[in-house]
Structure 1
């Protein structure tokens, strides 16, 4: 954290939290309006990000809409040949479906629909995403063809006969995987600092037009998953918007936390567990807990008289309404 005497203590506490959860962690939490006020752990290290790549893809789509290069209402028909494996949305459909590009973006961001994301990426193009990231000052963000390419690489890297077999290899904790499986040079990747910079651009209307940024903030706020970042802020007067990412032993979320008094924080937490079980609740929960610890530290340095009641935990948490 920049400019505070308590930096070593908060970083040590967060590292201890990661250790207790059985994960390696990367973190960047910053005040939206004062980005140099931040808590960080290895913020400039590239990490395979799984579905977090959909954030720069969304940004690129919106920038192309703003320029007139893409019509957000263009209809796209998805059939069986277009399906990309995934547990949500059109990735599960058996029949042909048609919808607008804009609605595909909504699906890929809210429920992380892989087939929807692949359809948007086909229209936008990988080169456009890379160019947008460079333009926005995040040249260390790469998508490498998104989920489809990542899955193809996984089959090759594991030597499996199919993607389902490759995924079984990935989930088998007794199997030694090739180092390339989690190498950010070959997977959709980003640094925590770069992703925080991209989120700040969305929340300050710098990533695209004000209208497009409002659209992006709205759909990121509709993500239904509450088991990672949002679990650290379980209050009705705190808004958490984000995008999760999961790949093998990796569990991530990149998002923004908005408190009732208007203070806002970008929060990016990436983790990698020692195991690749399909359910890792402690790895999920530490994402929210670490982000909350960082936010409390930043607020404690700003407001010596105390934290807002909801963040300080002085009252009983009420269920979140989403």
Structure 2
């Protein structure tokens, strides 16, 4: 980061070293929630494919439409087998028809990253509404491009495979050459760390939507059960970590907020891409939390500077 202070440069060096040790390329933006100018960043304005992190701006668009009365959050949707999107959680793994309210679908897409729920919400909200929210909240590099459905279709076309399973196996093969376009942000759900930090700040300070809707969004993100990424860096009972993970091939991400017992809070956005394509790389997951913790510790140690 050009013009970084001594402590900022120290934090950046430490975090880059951690990324290298974990075998990943990293992008990072960690900032004081109430003083966003106090931040630690690494390539914060570079767009990358974000996987399920796109569900955060989708949730914000849903809430704004609900606030405006354009849609009823209690509206019920019935999803059958033909509506299923591939995914390891939630409705995606069920076999029979299921009926839920729109807002419960939002909770599922945010808590267990349910792809089927997210696709149903996006079809109801519309990509135009999400793009509009991104413009209004100052997220110039965030695009969802049709969400998970478009990402999966693009992936099959780019890898020249006839099924999503075959495409995923191609990505997970360390001996296969993956076309560079697969990880291009141009046609997939993409964002920058700074965009996601700005969105999180708007949600936590009540500017992303109505006060009631922002409380709903914070609660939904607080219900995410995954602790292997961002939360792994803050394993304490008196620390609250709310977030949304995202995974796409060799990319592992999380965008969230860390709230400490003394009332301080930090937006923490860490995107990574591993050198290897293995589906399980515990060190690549854990470095997300470790890097965020180093950044938070540096910010706390240099308050007021």
If the length of structure 1 is used for normalisation, what is the TM-score?
0.93
**Matching residue of 1:146:** 147
Check whether the contact 1:7–1:39 (CA below 8 A) recurs between aligned residues: yes
Equivalence for 1:203: 204
CA contact (8 A) 1:237 1:259 kept: yes
CA distance in 2, matches of 1:43, 1:280: 24
**CA separation of 1:36 and 1:17: change in aligned 2, threshold 3 A:** same
> Partner of 1:131 in structure 2?
132
Which residue matches 1:285?
286
Dislocated runs of 4+, deviation >2 Å: 1-5
Which residue is equivalent to 2:96?
Answer: 95
- What's the offset of the Cα at 1:4? 3.7
RMSD value over aligned CA atoms?
1.2
Measured at CA, do residues 3 and 34 of structure 1 come closer, stay the same or move farther in structure 2, by a change above 3 Å?
farther
Q: Shift of the alpha carbon at 1:180? A: 1.1
Query: What whole-Å deviation, never above 9, does each CA across 1:270-319 have from its counterpart, x for those lacking one?
Result: 00001121111000000000000000000000289xxxxxxxxxxxxxxx
Q: Partner of 2:74 in structure 1?
A: 73
1:268 paired to 2:269: yes
Match status 1:181 vs 2:193: no
For structure 2, the residue ranges without an aligned partner over 5 or more in a row are none
Query: Which residue of the partner structure matches residue 237 of structure 2?
Result: 236
What displacement does 1:179 show?
A: 1.1
Q: Deviations over 1:93-134 (max 9, x none)?
A: 111100000000000000000000000000000111001100
CA distance in 2, matches of 1:71, 1:173: 46
Q: Which residue in the other structure is 2:46 paired with?
A: 45
Unaligned runs of 5+ in 1: 305-322
Aligned residues: 304
Contact 1:3 1:37 (8 Å CA) reproduced: no
Report Cα offsets for 1:51-72 as digits up to 9, x if no partner.
0000000000000000000100
Query: What's the offset of the Cα at 1:3?
Result: 6.7
Question: Aligned partners of 1:209, 1:156: CA distance in 2, in Å?
Answer: 40
State the alpha-carbon separation in 1 of the partners of residues 176 and 6 from structure 2: 44
Aligned pairs for 1:19-38 (under 5 A) are: 19-38=20-39
